[in-house]
Structure formats: structure tokens, C-alpha cells
A = this chain, B = another copy of it.
């Protein structure tokens, strides 16, 4: 097994987790984390053992409570720490002595709060390095893995929802952002396979995680929210390795002077000149997101779509205005409008009524049925001049059988080697149909711009792969 996999695996799939600072006081961080594991154990999702540690308690929720780290059983391979900052260094020494090699430090109040905190943080770092301990944190919400039941997110269920599993990994420096994002992902049905919030990034960093995710087959696309990178060389090398294998999307904030200043108050990150990050991302094939909607719009496309062979986009729509907006977006995001082959044009003219618009965009118009979509998608899929397809479905039009058009889209998305993304603008009914369509493997976007922009991400990555491999 790769060294990095061996080192980081306990964070995602521990045999036994020690929860240091576990308590029975409802709502406290050490209680929420303990209950997360306990509940996931009950549900049969967490398969490891759970060892609460608290000097004042003998048991918590029916689990034997250990008074010290020293007393812990020897199979403990992950420690989650949520005790006040001043106790963390000595606990780290106990952990080192016990031989536990993976530690998540939830506790805040270190490097982000001035000199004394920084000193403690350095001390913890030295203990870790001297003993081969890998540390996630401090000042973080830790790790969330729905498949294995690891969940150190200390926000209770009544505060946030948790997303189901999926092929997207999400790594973030910011803890509150982690919580907000998980909650958001749950709300829009985006599956997150692994979430890591590393806070002050004392040890385990973006590069380590990229190296880990290379070997993680459950993860198809990796997303990062970062405010700054400490070891540029290490980051670049790891990025180059992973982007050969799977796409990486980064949302790097602190881009502007204002943002950089705010980032420095937040995680102590020195943001550095943003143009450098831009260059590094380009060089290493990392796709940069403008904001978190952009990041997850692209992640969804990567998770569900094949990569396009080129940048020539075909657009099918039942609303002319939406087709115009999508065409503008094709230009705005650096793609090309495909010129349909004579054969496609002839095929569509044969099958369409005269008031439908054959071309690119092809407008099946407002009185469309699902069958017109089938003809259009079929033509675009088979047209050698088309590399990628945007299908706009305004489900509101009166004669369209929603489930029929959904099945047609799903069928072609499955059998075509071209990426197909859908755009559906609307309200509750549209949301409902969009979920069904996504479950069947087609990513759906709420505006033409966001659909085309997601496709542009696929094109960018596809070009990068060609460049480094060709």
C-alpha cells in the first residue's frame, strides 16, 4: 500500500476512534462528535470501535469511558481531540506514547489567535513529526465520510443536514464553510464521498490529500476551498500527479487585496499574489472556480459526464430566449458553437414541423413533445461536428411529457460518448424533475450560463489531459 494511503486511511476508516473530550452534556462539541459516531454505529455504518475519553466520566451512552489516553485499548488508530487548547500539547504527548498515528484536532485557539497559540501549535507539530503522527487541524471541523460513518462535524442534526455519499471529495480550510457546504449539498442532492476540513493545516494539507485521493476509487473529482498554500513545491508536485488521473477543482479566495487581507485575519494565510496561483493552477491542470456555485456546478458535471473531445457545443432548446442566452454563454466561456453537418440539418428538417428552428441552437419550440427532443439529441449525438451537448428543457411547455423527455436524455447520456448537460429553469416542479434526471445520470443546471460554464470546465480539463499526454 502507498505510504500516504496507509497514513491517511485511519482518518477515513479507523478501526477504533478515541474521542478525547467526549462528554454527555448535550450540544457540547465533544458530545455531538461522540453521538455522531454512536449513531452511525447503531445504523451499522460505522464499523469500528468507539472509545470516549474523559477523566471525569466512567461511561457515556453505554460506552465505557477512559480516563486517560494511556488507558485506551491498543487498537486505537484515530484520536479526535476536542478539549481546550492549553491541554492539547500534553495530550499529544500521551497520544505519541500510546502509539496512535492519526489525530484530528477540532479545538481552535492556536495559530489564528496570536503568539501564544502559535507557540502551542509549533509544539504540537514537533511532537507529531518526531513520532510520525499525522494531524488534521487544529481549528477545524475534521472529517465526514458517509460511507464509513466517520463524522466529526460538531453541528447537530437540527442545525444542518448531511449529504449522502457520492463521487465528490470536498476539502476546505474553513470550518463554518464546511458545515454550510455540507448542508447545501444535502439540500441540492449533491453526494459528497469525503469531506476534510483541515483548519490551520498544521500537518495534513492539500498535497497530502491529493496524493491520497489518487488511490481512492470512490472519488471521481476533488474540490478544494483554499485560502493559501504553505508549501508551493509540494502542492505543485501532488497536483501534477493527481490531475493525470482525476480532475481537481480549486476555489481559492483571497484573490484581491481586500480578500487577501481578510484571509490573513481568518486562517493566518498569506495569500500571495493571486496571479501566481492562477499560473500554478494552469500549469498543474487544476481548474479554478470563481465561486462555490461554480465549483459544484463543475464537480457535478465531472461526476456524471464523459469528457468532450473538443470545444464545439450543440444546443437544443424548447425556449428561444434560453437558446440565445446559452449561445452567449458559449462565447463568454471560450467555447465554440458547432456547425451541424448537412446530414443533421436534413434529418432534423425531415422530422420537424416548419415552425421549429433547425440549426444550432435547434429550437424544438414551445409546442414540442418529447419525441422532438429525441430527434434533436439523436442528430447532435451522431454529428461528428458536435463535441458536447447542452439540452435546455423548460418543463413548463404544455405538450411535453416530462418523464418521457427525462428518459430520452438519460438514454443518450448513457450511450453517447459525448457529454450531455441539461438546463431546466423553473420552480418546484422543475426541481422535482431535475432531481430525477440527475439520479439518472444527467447533471442539471438552473440557468443556461451555469450549464455552459460547467461544460467549459470539462473542456478545460480535457484539453489539459491532451496536452500532457499527447
- The residues of A with any CB-CB pair to B shorter than 8 Å are 27, 29, 32, 108-109, 113, 154-156, 158-161, 172-177, 179-181, 183-188, 225, 227, 253-259, 261-263, 265-267, 290-293, 315, 318-328, 330-332, 337, 354-355, 357, 359, 361, 363, 366, 394-398, 425-431, 446-449
Q: Which residue of chain B is the closest to A156 with respect to CB atoms?
A: B398
What would 18 A/B residue contacts be, using CB atoms closer than 8 Å?
A32-B398, A108-B366, A113-B355, A156-B398, A160-B396, A160-B427, A161-B428, A174-B320, A175-B319, A177-B321, A177-B425, A187-B426, A187-B431, A256-B328, A261-B327, A263-B324, A265-B357, A266-B321
Closest Cβ of chain B: how far from A450's Cβ, in Å? 8
Instruction: List, in ascending order, chain B residues with CB within 8 A of A427's CB.
Output: 160-161, 183-188
A327, B255: Cα distance in complex, Å: 9
Copies of this protein in the complex: 2
Q: In the bound complex, do residue B160 and residue A429 qualify as a contact, i.e. CB atoms below 8 Å apart?
A: yes
Closest Cβ of chain B: how far from A118's Cβ, in Å? 14
Q: In the bound complex, do residue A320 and residue B255 qualify as a contact, i.e. CB atoms below 8 Å apart?
A: no
Closest Cβ of chain B: how far from A436's Cβ, in Å? 16
Closest Cβ of chain B: how far from A349's Cβ, in Å? 14
Q: Which residue of chain B is the closest to A179 with respect to CB atoms?
A: B396
Q: Which residue of chain B is the closest to A326 with respect to CB atoms?
A: B262
Instruction: List, in ascending order, chain B residues with CB within 8 A of A395's CB.
Output: 159
Q: Which of B161, B186, B291, B331 contacts A325 (CB 8 A)?
A: B291
Q: In the bound complex, do residue B258 and residue A327 qualify as a contact, i.e. CB atoms below 8 Å apart?
A: yes
Q: Which of B155, B185, B319, B331 contacts A180 (CB 8 A)?
A: B319
Q: Which of B174, B320, B331 contacts A265 (CB 8 A)?
A: B320
Q: In the bound complex, do residue B330 and residue A179 qualify as a contact, i.e. CB atoms below 8 Å apart?
A: no
Q: In the bound complex, do residue A161 and residue B292 qualify as a contact, i.e. CB atoms below 8 Å apart?
A: no
Q: Which residue of chain B is the closest to A393 with respect to CB atoms?
A: B180
Q: In the bound complex, do residue A429 and residue B258 qualify as a contact, i.e. CB atoms below 8 Å apart?
A: no
A355, B107: Cα distance in complex, Å: 12
Q: In the bound complex, do residue B227 and residue A324 qualify as a contact, i.e. CB atoms below 8 Å apart?
A: yes
A325, B227: Cα distance in complex, Å: 10
A26, B330: Cα distance in complex, Å: 39
Q: In the bound complex, do residue B397 and residue A176 qualify as a contact, i.e. CB atoms below 8 Å apart?
A: yes
Closest Cβ of chain B: how far from A161's Cβ, in Å? 5
Closest Cβ of chain B: how far from A361's Cβ, in Å? 5
Closest Cβ of chain B: how far from A274's Cβ, in Å? 9
Q: Which of B161, B253, B290 contacts A321 (CB 8 A)?
A: B253
Q: Which of B159, B394, B431 contacts A397 (CB 8 A)?
A: B159
Q: In the bound complex, do residue A396 and residue B183 qualify as a contact, i.e. CB atoms below 8 Å apart?
A: yes
Q: Which of B109, B187, B265, B357 contacts A266 (CB 8 A)?
A: B357
A437, B442: Cα distance in complex, Å: 34
A285, B343: Cα distance in complex, Å: 48
Given contacts A174-B324, A179-B394, A253-B324, 19 further A-B contacts (CB under 8 A): A109-B355, A154-B398, A155-B396, A156-B398, A176-B394, A177-B394, A184-B427, A184-B430, A185-B427, A187-B426, A187-B427, A227-B321, A256-B327, A257-B331, A258-B328, A259-B331, A265-B363, A267-B320, A292-B425
Instruction: List, in ascending order, chain B residues with CB within 8 A of A332's CB.
Output: 255-256
Q: Which residue of chain B is the closest to A175 with respect to CB atoms?
A: B366
Instruction: List, in ascending order, chain B residues with CB within 8 A of A183's CB.
Output: 396, 425-427, 429-430
Q: In the bound complex, do residue B180 and residue A425 qualify as a contact, i.e. CB atoms below 8 Å apart?
A: yes
Q: In the bound complex, do residue B320 and residue A447 qualify as a contact, i.e. CB atoms below 8 Å apart?
A: no
The 6 closest A-B pairs by CB, nearest first: A174-B321, A187-B427, A176-B319, A266-B320, A259-B328, A256-B331
Instruction: List, in ascending order, chain B residues with CB within 8 A of A225's CB.
Output: 321
Q: In the bound complex, do residue B318 and residue A176 qualify as a contact, i.e. CB atoms below 8 Å apart?
A: yes
Q: In the bound complex, do residue B398 and residue A266 qualify as a contact, i.e. CB atoms below 8 Å apart?
A: no
Q: Which of B113, B325, B330, B396 contacts A253 (CB 8 A)?
A: B325
